[in-house]
Amino acid sequence: DSGVTQTPKHLITATGQRVTLRCSPRSGDLSVYWYQQSLDQGLQFLIQYYNGEERAKGNILERFSAQQFPDLHSELNLSSLELGDSALYFCASSPGLTGGQFFGPGTRLTVL
């Protein structure tokens, strides 16, 4: 158990819908990262937050957004969902800006 929690574990929704994925980092970790894992794209970095502020952006679509709250948990919002958004979404956390990352169990999103 890495200490990073993600909810829900599974999410099934329809195209065009909006969903929110939640992540709680390890106690004391200030950085939160979101990654998407799909069969065709592999593991891709989406976005990083540090202590409430956005720090780095990867291949995140404009339909996706994220935020980190004062209690350091983070949410990833996915809107206008398409079939191709079906993937495993991981959250990771680290103590600082560039430390080793610990991954949560992931949320499996299925868009029908």
Binding residues for other proteins, per CB under 8 A?
Answer: 2, 4, 31, 33, 35, 42-45, 48, 50, 55-56, 58, 90, 92, 94, 97-106
Q: Using CA atoms, how far apart are residues 106 and 19, in angstroms rounded to an integer?
A: 15
Looking at residue 85, what DSSP letter applies? G
Nearer to other proteins, 8 or 16 (CB): 8
In the complex with other proteins, the residue whose CB is nearer, 94 or 111, is 94
Per the listing, tokens 């004062």 go with 70
d(CA 5, CA 9): 10
CB of 104 to other proteins, least distance (A): 5
Q: How far is the CB of 102 from other proteins (least distance, A)?
A: 6
Q: How far is the CB of 29 from other proteins (least distance, A)?
A: 11
Residues 13, 19, 25: CA angle, nearest 5 degrees = 125
The Cα–Cα gap between 69 and 62 comes to 20
Closest CB to other proteins among residues 56, 112? 56
